[in-house]
Chains A and B, each alone.
Chain A
Amino acid sequence: MLLKDQVALVTGGSRGIGRGIVQALAKEGAKVAFVYKGSAEAAGKLVEEITQSGGTAQAFQGDVAQPDTATGIVEKVLSDWGRIDILVNNAGIIRDGLFVRMKPEEWDVVVTTNLGGTFRFCRAVVEQMVFRQRSGRIVNVSSVAAQHVNAGQCNYSASKGAVNSFTRALAVEVAGRNVTVNAVAPGFIETDMSEAVRNKAGDLIKKMIPAKRLGKPEDIAATVVFLCSPAASYITGQVITVDGGLSLGAVAV
Protein backbone atom coordinates (compact mmCIF):
# COMPACT_ATOMS: atom_id res chain seq x y z
CA MET A 1 0.00 0.00 0.00
CA LEU A 2 1.41 3.33 -1.12
CA LEU A 3 -0.35 5.63 1.34
CA LYS A 4 -0.63 3.58 4.51
CA ASP A 5 -2.07 5.58 7.46
CA GLN A 6 -1.91 8.88 5.63
CA VAL A 7 -4.85 11.23 6.10
CA ALA A 8 -6.58 12.42 2.94
CA LEU A 9 -9.34 14.96 2.44
CA VAL A 10 -11.28 14.91 -0.85
CA THR A 11 -14.00 17.38 -1.88
CA GLY A 12 -16.87 16.26 -4.08
CA GLY A 13 -16.18 12.72 -2.96
CA SER A 14 -19.49 10.91 -3.14
CA ARG A 15 -19.95 10.64 -6.90
CA GLY A 16 -18.14 10.60 -10.23
CA ILE A 17 -14.40 11.21 -10.34
CA GLY A 18 -14.29 12.14 -6.64
CA ARG A 19 -15.78 8.81 -5.64
CA GLY A 20 -13.12 7.03 -7.68
CA ILE A 21 -10.42 9.09 -5.96
CA VAL A 22 -11.79 8.33 -2.48
CA GLN A 23 -11.88 4.60 -3.28
CA ALA A 24 -8.37 4.58 -4.72
CA LEU A 25 -6.84 6.49 -1.80
CA ALA A 26 -8.58 4.21 0.70
CA LYS A 27 -7.37 1.16 -1.20
CA GLU A 28 -3.81 2.43 -0.84
CA GLY A 29 -4.25 2.56 2.92
CA ALA A 30 -5.13 6.23 3.47
CA LYS A 31 -7.77 7.29 5.97
CA VAL A 32 -10.11 9.32 3.81
CA ALA A 33 -12.44 12.14 4.80
CA PHE A 34 -14.58 13.39 1.97
CA VAL A 35 -17.04 16.21 1.41
CA TYR A 36 -20.36 15.84 -0.38
CA LYS A 37 -22.99 18.45 -1.07
CA GLY A 38 -26.27 16.71 -1.79
CA SER A 39 -25.83 12.97 -2.21
CA ALA A 40 -26.14 11.81 1.39
CA GLU A 41 -27.17 8.33 0.34
CA ALA A 42 -24.24 7.85 -2.05
CA ALA A 43 -21.89 9.23 0.61
CA GLY A 44 -23.19 6.83 3.24
CA LYS A 45 -22.84 3.89 0.88
CA LEU A 46 -19.28 4.82 0.03
CA VAL A 47 -18.26 5.05 3.70
CA GLU A 48 -19.88 1.67 4.30
CA GLU A 49 -18.19 0.09 1.28
CA ILE A 50 -14.75 1.30 2.40
CA THR A 51 -15.29 0.33 6.02
CA GLN A 52 -16.43 -3.15 5.04
CA SER A 53 -13.30 -3.74 3.02
CA GLY A 54 -11.15 -2.82 6.01
CA GLY A 55 -10.51 0.84 5.18
CA THR A 56 -11.32 4.03 7.09
CA ALA A 57 -13.53 6.80 5.74
CA GLN A 58 -15.85 9.51 6.95
CA ALA A 59 -18.19 11.80 5.06
CA PHE A 60 -18.94 15.48 5.71
CA GLN A 61 -21.87 17.34 4.23
CA GLY A 62 -20.92 20.79 2.97
CA ASP A 63 -20.98 23.17 0.02
CA VAL A 64 -17.40 24.16 -0.86
CA ALA A 65 -18.71 27.46 -2.23
CA GLN A 66 -19.77 28.56 1.26
CA PRO A 67 -17.20 30.59 3.18
CA ASP A 68 -16.98 28.49 6.36
CA THR A 69 -17.25 24.98 4.95
CA ALA A 70 -13.53 24.42 4.48
CA THR A 71 -12.33 25.68 7.86
CA GLY A 72 -15.05 23.74 9.71
CA ILE A 73 -14.29 20.44 7.99
CA VAL A 74 -10.51 20.83 8.17
CA GLU A 75 -10.73 21.53 11.92
CA LYS A 76 -12.85 18.44 12.40
CA VAL A 77 -10.49 16.19 10.43
CA LEU A 78 -7.49 17.56 12.34
CA SER A 79 -9.14 16.99 15.70
CA ASP A 80 -10.13 13.43 14.69
CA TRP A 81 -7.02 12.31 12.86
CA GLY A 82 -4.34 14.85 13.85
CA ARG A 83 -2.98 15.69 10.41
CA ILE A 84 -3.84 16.09 6.74
CA ASP A 85 -1.29 14.62 4.35
CA ILE A 86 -3.33 14.83 1.17
CA LEU A 87 -5.88 17.34 -0.06
CA VAL A 88 -7.75 16.66 -3.30
CA ASN A 89 -9.87 19.56 -4.52
CA ASN A 90 -12.28 17.72 -6.76
CA ALA A 91 -15.65 19.38 -6.15
CA GLY A 92 -16.75 21.07 -9.34
CA ILE A 93 -19.90 21.99 -11.20
CA ILE A 94 -21.00 23.02 -14.68
CA ARG A 95 -23.68 25.51 -15.70
CA ASP A 96 -23.28 25.29 -19.46
CA GLY A 97 -24.83 27.79 -21.80
CA LEU A 98 -23.81 30.24 -24.49
CA PHE A 99 -22.27 33.39 -23.09
CA VAL A 100 -24.81 35.69 -24.76
CA ARG A 101 -27.41 34.21 -22.45
CA MET A 102 -25.21 33.54 -19.42
CA LYS A 103 -26.63 34.86 -16.17
CA PRO A 104 -24.31 36.44 -13.62
CA GLU A 105 -25.37 33.80 -11.09
CA GLU A 106 -24.32 31.03 -13.50
CA TRP A 107 -20.89 32.61 -13.73
CA ASP A 108 -20.63 33.21 -9.99
CA VAL A 109 -21.66 29.78 -8.78
CA VAL A 110 -19.24 28.01 -11.14
CA VAL A 111 -16.29 30.25 -10.27
CA THR A 112 -17.08 30.27 -6.55
CA THR A 113 -17.36 26.48 -6.44
CA ASN A 114 -14.56 25.39 -8.78
CA LEU A 115 -11.97 28.09 -8.06
CA GLY A 116 -13.23 29.51 -4.76
CA GLY A 117 -13.70 26.06 -3.22
CA THR A 118 -10.17 25.11 -4.23
CA PHE A 119 -8.83 28.32 -2.70
CA ARG A 120 -10.75 27.87 0.54
CA PHE A 121 -9.66 24.29 1.16
CA CYS A 122 -6.03 25.04 0.24
CA ARG A 123 -6.09 28.04 2.56
CA ALA A 124 -7.60 25.96 5.36
CA VAL A 125 -4.87 23.26 5.20
CA VAL A 126 -1.81 25.21 4.09
CA GLU A 127 -0.53 26.31 7.50
CA GLN A 128 -0.92 22.78 8.82
CA MET A 129 1.06 21.37 5.89
CA VAL A 130 3.67 24.12 5.58
CA PHE A 131 4.42 25.04 9.20
CA ARG A 132 3.30 22.13 11.37
CA GLN A 133 3.89 19.06 9.21
CA ARG A 134 6.34 20.41 6.68
CA SER A 135 4.93 17.95 4.24
CA GLY A 136 1.81 17.54 2.20
CA ARG A 137 0.30 16.84 -1.19
CA ILE A 138 -2.34 18.94 -2.85
CA VAL A 139 -4.00 17.79 -6.06
CA ASN A 140 -6.53 20.02 -7.80
CA VAL A 141 -8.86 18.44 -10.30
CA SER A 142 -8.92 20.71 -13.32
CA SER A 143 -10.15 19.88 -16.84
CA VAL A 144 -8.90 19.75 -20.41
CA ALA A 145 -11.55 22.44 -20.93
CA ALA A 146 -9.12 24.93 -19.38
CA GLN A 147 -7.03 24.74 -22.58
CA HIS A 148 -9.27 23.06 -25.15
CA VAL A 149 -12.42 25.06 -24.88
CA ASN A 150 -15.96 24.22 -25.90
CA ALA A 151 -18.83 26.56 -26.79
CA GLY A 152 -21.12 27.03 -23.82
CA GLN A 153 -18.44 26.77 -21.15
CA CYS A 154 -17.03 30.26 -20.67
CA ASN A 155 -17.62 30.04 -16.93
CA TYR A 156 -16.30 26.48 -16.56
CA SER A 157 -13.21 27.00 -18.76
CA ALA A 158 -12.34 30.23 -16.98
CA SER A 159 -12.64 28.57 -13.57
CA LYS A 160 -10.44 25.63 -14.58
CA GLY A 161 -7.85 27.83 -16.28
CA ALA A 162 -7.64 29.79 -13.05
CA VAL A 163 -7.23 26.55 -11.07
CA ASN A 164 -4.22 25.69 -13.26
CA SER A 165 -2.58 29.08 -12.68
CA PHE A 166 -3.36 28.92 -8.97
CA THR A 167 -1.78 25.46 -8.83
CA ARG A 168 1.48 26.74 -10.29
CA ALA A 169 1.56 29.89 -8.15
CA LEU A 170 0.90 28.04 -4.89
CA ALA A 171 3.42 25.33 -5.80
CA VAL A 172 6.20 27.92 -5.87
CA GLU A 173 5.37 29.25 -2.41
CA VAL A 174 5.29 25.92 -0.60
CA ALA A 175 7.81 23.79 -2.51
CA GLY A 176 10.56 24.53 0.04
CA ARG A 177 8.43 22.96 2.77
CA ASN A 178 8.01 19.57 1.10
CA VAL A 179 4.49 20.35 -0.05
CA THR A 180 3.68 19.65 -3.69
CA VAL A 181 0.76 21.16 -5.56
CA ASN A 182 -0.34 19.66 -8.86
CA ALA A 183 -3.43 19.46 -10.99
CA VAL A 184 -4.97 16.66 -12.99
CA ALA A 185 -6.86 17.65 -16.12
CA PRO A 186 -9.36 14.95 -17.10
CA GLY A 187 -10.80 14.71 -20.60
CA PHE A 188 -14.18 13.07 -21.18
CA ILE A 189 -14.86 10.83 -18.22
CA GLU A 190 -17.93 8.64 -17.74
CA THR A 191 -19.66 10.45 -14.90
CA ASP A 192 -23.02 12.08 -14.20
CA MET A 193 -21.50 15.46 -15.07
CA SER A 194 -20.68 14.46 -18.62
CA GLU A 195 -23.91 12.52 -19.16
CA ALA A 196 -25.77 15.21 -21.11
CA VAL A 197 -22.86 15.80 -23.48
CA ARG A 198 -22.38 12.06 -23.92
CA ASN A 199 -26.05 11.62 -24.73
CA LYS A 200 -25.86 14.37 -27.33
CA ALA A 201 -22.53 13.60 -28.93
CA GLY A 202 -21.11 10.38 -27.45
CA ASP A 203 -20.14 8.77 -30.75
CA LEU A 204 -18.56 11.93 -32.08
CA ILE A 205 -16.57 12.33 -28.87
CA LYS A 206 -15.26 8.77 -29.05
CA LYS A 207 -14.02 9.47 -32.56
CA MET A 208 -12.13 12.49 -31.27
CA ILE A 209 -10.29 10.45 -28.64
CA PRO A 210 -7.24 8.58 -29.99
CA ALA A 211 -7.64 5.95 -27.25
CA LYS A 212 -11.12 5.24 -28.68
CA ARG A 213 -12.82 5.16 -25.32
CA LEU A 214 -14.08 7.55 -22.72
CA GLY A 215 -12.13 7.79 -19.50
CA LYS A 216 -13.23 6.22 -16.24
CA PRO A 217 -13.00 7.75 -12.76
CA GLU A 218 -10.33 5.12 -12.03
CA ASP A 219 -8.11 6.61 -14.74
CA ILE A 220 -8.10 9.94 -12.92
CA ALA A 221 -7.87 8.34 -9.47
CA ALA A 222 -4.74 6.40 -10.48
CA THR A 223 -3.03 9.65 -11.46
CA VAL A 224 -4.04 11.28 -8.19
CA VAL A 225 -2.63 8.31 -6.24
CA PHE A 226 0.61 8.60 -8.17
CA LEU A 227 0.92 12.33 -7.44
CA CYS A 228 0.37 11.59 -3.73
CA SER A 229 2.85 8.71 -3.66
CA PRO A 230 6.54 8.92 -2.71
CA ALA A 231 7.43 8.41 -6.39
CA ALA A 232 6.08 11.88 -7.23
CA SER A 233 7.84 13.87 -4.51
CA TYR A 234 9.82 15.92 -7.06
CA ILE A 235 6.82 16.81 -9.23
CA THR A 236 5.18 20.12 -8.41
CA GLY A 237 3.25 22.89 -10.15
CA GLN A 238 2.27 20.61 -13.02
CA VAL A 239 -1.00 20.03 -14.77
CA ILE A 240 -1.19 16.38 -15.82
CA THR A 241 -3.64 15.77 -18.63
CA VAL A 242 -5.43 12.42 -18.52
CA ASP A 243 -7.62 12.26 -21.59
CA GLY A 244 -6.71 9.32 -23.84
CA GLY A 245 -5.02 11.78 -26.21
CA LEU A 246 -8.09 13.96 -26.79
CA SER A 247 -6.24 17.22 -26.31
CA LEU A 248 -3.62 16.31 -28.91
CA GLY A 249 -6.18 17.46 -31.44
CA ALA A 250 -5.25 14.79 -33.99
CA VAL A 251 -7.58 14.06 -36.85
CA ALA A 252 -8.50 10.41 -37.33
CA VAL A 253 -7.37 9.06 -40.70
Chain B
Amino acid sequence: MTKEEIYAKVAATLVEALNVDDDQVTPTATLQGDLGAESIDFLDVVFRLEREFNIKIPRGELFPESIFQADPDFVKDGKVTARGIAELEAKMPYAELGDFKKSPTIENIGNLFTVELITRYIQSKLA
Protein backbone atom coordinates (compact mmCIF):
# COMPACT_ATOMS: atom_id res chain seq x y z
CA MET B 1 0.00 0.00 0.00
CA THR B 2 1.39 3.43 -0.90
CA LYS B 3 1.52 6.25 1.60
CA GLU B 4 -1.25 8.02 -0.31
CA GLU B 5 -3.47 4.98 -0.11
CA ILE B 6 -2.81 4.64 3.62
CA TYR B 7 -3.54 8.33 4.15
CA ALA B 8 -6.83 8.08 2.28
CA LYS B 9 -7.91 5.13 4.38
CA VAL B 10 -6.80 6.81 7.63
CA ALA B 11 -8.70 9.97 6.68
CA ALA B 12 -11.85 7.98 5.89
CA THR B 13 -11.52 6.14 9.20
CA LEU B 14 -11.24 9.41 11.11
CA VAL B 15 -14.27 10.88 9.35
CA GLU B 16 -16.24 7.88 10.49
CA ALA B 17 -14.82 7.63 14.01
CA LEU B 18 -14.93 11.32 14.89
CA ASN B 19 -18.02 12.24 12.91
CA VAL B 20 -16.25 15.11 11.11
CA ASP B 21 -16.44 16.36 7.53
CA ASP B 22 -13.99 15.18 4.87
CA ASP B 23 -12.49 18.64 4.45
CA GLN B 24 -11.66 18.95 8.15
CA VAL B 25 -9.26 16.04 7.86
CA THR B 26 -5.91 17.35 6.59
CA PRO B 27 -2.42 15.95 7.19
CA THR B 28 -1.66 18.54 9.84
CA ALA B 29 -5.04 18.42 11.61
CA THR B 30 -4.69 17.40 15.27
CA LEU B 31 -7.12 14.83 16.63
CA GLN B 32 -7.82 16.66 19.85
CA GLY B 33 -7.61 20.31 18.87
CA ASP B 34 -8.83 20.32 15.27
CA LEU B 35 -11.03 17.24 15.14
CA GLY B 36 -12.45 17.43 18.66
CA ALA B 37 -11.45 13.94 19.80
CA GLU B 38 -12.17 13.00 23.42
CA SER B 39 -10.55 10.12 25.28
CA ILE B 40 -13.03 7.48 24.13
CA ASP B 41 -12.58 8.68 20.55
CA PHE B 42 -8.91 7.69 20.65
CA LEU B 43 -9.98 4.14 21.52
CA ASP B 44 -12.59 4.24 18.77
CA VAL B 45 -9.89 5.32 16.28
CA VAL B 46 -7.65 2.44 17.39
CA PHE B 47 -10.56 0.00 17.05
CA ARG B 48 -11.35 1.16 13.52
CA LEU B 49 -7.73 1.27 12.35
CA GLU B 50 -7.24 -2.30 13.53
CA ARG B 51 -10.28 -3.40 11.57
CA GLU B 52 -9.55 -1.30 8.49
CA PHE B 53 -5.89 -2.32 8.11
CA ASN B 54 -6.21 -5.75 9.67
CA ILE B 55 -3.49 -5.05 12.23
CA LYS B 56 -3.17 -5.31 16.01
CA ILE B 57 -2.40 -2.10 17.85
CA PRO B 58 -1.19 -2.96 21.36
CA ARG B 59 -2.56 -0.78 24.13
CA GLY B 60 -0.52 2.40 24.49
CA GLU B 61 1.45 1.91 21.28
CA LEU B 62 -0.19 4.53 19.06
CA PHE B 63 -1.35 6.76 21.90
CA PRO B 64 1.03 6.30 24.89
CA GLU B 65 -1.44 6.57 27.76
CA SER B 66 1.10 7.04 30.53
CA ILE B 67 2.19 10.39 29.12
CA PHE B 68 -1.32 11.35 28.05
CA GLN B 69 -2.53 10.79 31.59
CA ALA B 70 0.29 12.96 32.96
CA ASP B 71 1.98 10.05 34.75
CA PRO B 72 4.29 11.76 37.31
CA ASP B 73 7.11 9.49 36.14
CA PHE B 74 7.12 11.33 32.83
CA VAL B 75 5.45 14.65 33.50
CA LYS B 76 6.37 17.29 36.07
CA ASP B 77 4.77 20.70 36.61
CA GLY B 78 2.85 20.41 33.35
CA LYS B 79 5.97 19.62 31.34
CA VAL B 80 7.16 16.35 29.89
CA THR B 81 10.49 15.52 31.55
CA ALA B 82 13.64 14.37 29.76
CA ARG B 83 12.70 10.84 30.75
CA GLY B 84 9.24 11.40 29.30
CA ILE B 85 10.70 12.61 26.01
CA ALA B 86 12.97 9.55 25.89
CA GLU B 87 9.85 7.45 26.46
CA LEU B 88 8.01 9.20 23.63
CA GLU B 89 10.97 8.71 21.30
CA ALA B 90 11.17 5.03 22.19
CA LYS B 91 7.43 4.44 21.90
CA MET B 92 6.79 6.65 18.89
CA PRO B 93 9.76 6.33 16.53
CA TYR B 94 7.43 7.42 13.71
CA ALA B 95 6.69 10.79 15.37
CA GLU B 96 8.54 14.01 14.65
CA LEU B 97 9.26 15.45 18.06
CA GLY B 98 11.39 18.41 16.94
CA ASP B 99 8.84 21.18 17.54
CA PHE B 100 7.43 19.49 20.61
CA LYS B 101 10.83 19.38 22.31
CA LYS B 102 11.04 23.18 22.13
CA SER B 103 7.97 23.46 24.33
CA PRO B 104 7.18 20.04 25.80
CA THR B 105 4.09 21.03 27.76
CA ILE B 106 1.30 18.61 28.52
CA GLU B 107 -1.07 20.74 26.41
CA ASN B 108 1.21 20.37 23.41
CA ILE B 109 1.15 16.58 23.58
CA GLY B 110 -2.25 16.66 21.93
CA ASN B 111 -0.71 18.51 19.00
CA LEU B 112 1.58 15.56 18.28
CA PHE B 113 -1.35 13.43 17.23
CA THR B 114 -1.99 14.55 13.72
CA VAL B 115 -3.49 12.73 10.77
CA GLU B 116 0.01 12.59 9.28
CA LEU B 117 1.37 10.91 12.44
CA ILE B 118 -1.26 8.19 12.31
CA THR B 119 -0.49 7.64 8.64
CA ARG B 120 3.22 7.24 9.39
CA TYR B 121 2.41 4.89 12.26
CA ILE B 122 0.29 2.66 10.02
CA GLN B 123 3.03 2.77 7.38
CA SER B 124 5.54 1.53 9.96
CA LYS B 125 3.13 -1.21 11.06
CA LEU B 126 2.55 -2.43 7.52
CA ALA B 127 6.23 -2.28 6.52
Complex CA distance for A111 and B40, rounded to whole angstroms:
28
> Contact: B47 with A176, CB < 8 Å?
no
What is the CB-to-nearest-CB distance from B35 to chain A, in angstroms, rounded to a whole number?
14
How many residues of B are in contact with the other chain, CB < 8 A? 6
- B42-80: which residues lie under 8 A (CB-CB) from chain A? 43-44, 47-48
A127 interfacial contact with B, CB 8 Å: yes
Query: Which chain B residue lies CB-closest to A173?
Result: B40
Closest B residue by C-beta to A127 = B47
Of all A-B residue pairs in the complex, the 5 with the closest CB atoms, nearest first, are A131-B47, A131-B44, A173-B40, A176-B40, A176-B38
Residues of A within 8 A of B (CB): 127, 130-131, 173-174, 176-177
A93 to B123, CA, bound (A): 52
Q: How far is the CA of A174 from the CA of B40 in the complex (A)?
A: 8
Q: Chain B residues with Cβ under 8 A from A176's Cβ?
A: 38, 40
Chain B facing A: main interface SS: helix
A-B contacts, 13 listed (Cβ < 8 Å):
A127-B47, A130-B40, A130-B44, A131-B43, A131-B44, A131-B47, A131-B48, A173-B40, A174-B40, A176-B38, A176-B40, A177-B40, A177-B44
In the bound complex, residues from chain B placing their C-beta under 8 Å from that of A173 are 40
Q: A173-B40, A174-B40 are in contact. List 7 more A-B contacts (CB 8 A).
A: A127-B47, A130-B40, A130-B44, A131-B43, A131-B44, A131-B47, A131-B48
Q: Which single residue of chain A is at the shortest CB-CB distance from B43?
A: A131
Chain A residue with Cβ nearest B41: A176
The complex places the Cα of A94 from the Cα of B47 at a distance, in Å, of 39
| A132 (CB) vs chain B CBs: closest residue | B47
Within 8 A of A (CB), among B68-103: none
Q: How far is the CB of B69 from chain A (nearest CB, A)?
A: 15
| Most central of A130, A131, A176 by chain B CB within 10 Å | A131
Distance (whole angstroms) from the CB of A124 to the closest CB of chain B: 16
B48 (CB) vs chain A CBs: closest residue: A131
Cα distance, A173 to B44, chains bound together (Å): 12
Complex interface: chain B residues within 8 A of A130 (CB): 40, 44
Interface digits, B30-44 against A, CB 8 Å rule (1 contact, 0 not)?
A: 000000001010011
In the bound complex, CA of A177 to CA of B41 (Å): 10
CA distance A127 to B51 in the complex (A): 13
CB-CB < 8 A to B47: which residues of A?
A: 127, 131
Tell me, in angstroms, the Cα distance from A131 to B38 when the chains sit together.
14
Expressed in whole angstroms, the minimum distance between the Cβ of A196 and any Cβ of chain B is 44
A127 CA to B38 CA, complexed, in Å:
16
Q: How far is the CA of A79 from the CA of B44 in the complex (A)?
A: 22
With A and B bound together, what is the CA distance between A127 and B46 in angstroms? 12
Residue numbers in B under 8 Å from A177 (CB-CB): 40, 44
Q: How far is the CB of B104 from the nearest CB of chain A, in Å?
A: 29
A174 and B38 CA atoms in complex are apart in Å by 12
Per the bound structure, the CA–CA distance linking A130 and B40 in Å amounts to 9
Q: Give the residues in chain A near B43, CB-CB below 8 Å.
A: 131
User: A88 vs B48: C-alpha distance in the bound complex, in angstroms?
Assistant: 27
Kindly provide the distance from the CB of B10 to the nearest chain A CB, expressed in whole angstroms. Answer: 17
A251 to chain B, nearest CB (A): 47
Complex interface: chain A residues within 8 A of B44 (CB): 130-131, 177
Question: Which residue of A is nearest B38, CB measured?
Answer: A176
Bound CA span A233–B44, Å: 22
What is the minimal beta-carbon distance from A200 to any residue of chain B, in angstroms? 47
Cα distance A176–B44 in the bound complex, in angstroms: 12
Q: Which residues of A contact B40 (CB under 8 A)?
A: 130, 173-174, 176-177
CB-CB nearest in chain B for A175: B40
- Identity of the chain A residue whose Cβ is nearest the Cβ of B47 in the assembled complex: A131
